[in-house]
């Protein structure tokens, strides 16, 4: 499993570098695989699509755990907003820089418009599961999680396009609007 993780990370790094250098649309999966030192077939074993190279979200488990740990009396939207705020507080500077670069690439690539929305199912599912453990019914949990992820995605993409606001402020402002603080 360790070799798989190393290859997976090498592919993510190579993709991030190439997408930043050439732009998402100009960089090919063959170039990513070559830079990572693997075959294109190996790349597709790790990432079923080019989009997934950029959109795999390592923050899902952190967010879900933080939401689940919120006080039982909190409404779903508050638990989501405050749990995500807590999870973000644990993200190290290197991961924050990687997220910033990732979002800039997404914001600039015409073929990625709508990509975050298309790839948010796993994040929403993790948050729904956390809310279900807290006793929230399925439909309200799904509505709340989808609303928070849509709002947060919009705020982050706006932040990536403008650069006038620090990312922490953009996230905090979005979470405040969505039910926290």
- Which pLDDT belongs to residue 180? 59
Residue 64 has pLDDT above 80, yes or no: yes
The CA distance from 145 to 83, in Å, is: 12
- Which pLDDT belongs to residue 1? 65
Residue of higher predicted confidence among 96 and 37: 37
The CA distance from 69 to 134, in Å, is: 9
With beta carbons less than 8 A apart as the criterion, state whether 177 and 83 touch.
Answer: no
- Which pLDDT belongs to residue 58? 72
- Which pLDDT belongs to residue 156? 85
Q: How many CB atoms lie within 10 A of CB 136?
A: 20
The token pair at 86 is: 């807590």
- Residue-wise pLDDT for 31-50, tens only, equals 999 999 999 999 999 999 99
- Which pLDDT belongs to residue 118? 79
Q: Which long-range contacts (CB under 8 A, 24 or more apart) does 123-126 make?
A: 123/57, 123/60, 123/63, 123/149, 124/149, 126/60, 126/61, 126/63, 126/64
The CA distance from 28 to 124, in Å, is: 29
The token pair at 47 is: 């990432």
Domains (range + CATH), the chain = 2-53 (1.10.10.60), 57-178 (1.10.357.10)
- Which pLDDT belongs to residue 169? 85
> What crossing angle do the helices spanning 60-68 and 121-133 adopt, rounded to 10°?
20
Nearest to 64 by CA among 138, 135, 145: 145
What mean pLDDT is reported for the chain?
A: 89
Residue of higher predicted confidence among 2 and 181: 2
54, containing H or E segment: helix 50-55
**pTM (2 d.p.):** 0.79
Q: Confidence class of residue 181 from pLDDT cuts 50, 70 and 90?
A: low
Q: How many CB atoms lie within 10 A of CB 94?
A: 8
DSSP annotation of 135: T
């Amino acid at each position: 499993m360790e070799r798989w993780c190393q290859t997976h990370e090498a592919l993510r790094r190579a993709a991030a570098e190439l997408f930043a250098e050439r732009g998402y649309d100009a960089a090919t999966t063959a170039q990513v695989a070559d830079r990572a030192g693997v075959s294109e077939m190996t790349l597709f074993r790790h990432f079923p699509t080019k989009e997934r190279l950029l959109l795999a979200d390592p923050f899902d488990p952190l967010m879900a755990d933080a939401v689940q740990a919120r006080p039982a009396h909190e409404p779903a939207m508050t638990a989501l907003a405050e749990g995500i705020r807590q999870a973000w507080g644990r993200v190290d500077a290197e991961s924050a820089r990687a997220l910033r670069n990732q979002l800039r690439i997404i914001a600039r690539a015409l073929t990625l418009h709508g990509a975050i929305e298309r790839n948010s199912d796993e994040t929403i599912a993790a948050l729904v599961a956390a809310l279900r453990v807290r006793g929230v019914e399925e439909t309200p949990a799904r509505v709340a999680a989808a609303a928070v992820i849509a709002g947060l995605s919009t705020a982050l993409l706006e932040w990536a396009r403008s650069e006038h606001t620090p990312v922490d402020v953009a996230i905090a402002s979005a979470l405040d609007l969505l039910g926290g603080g």
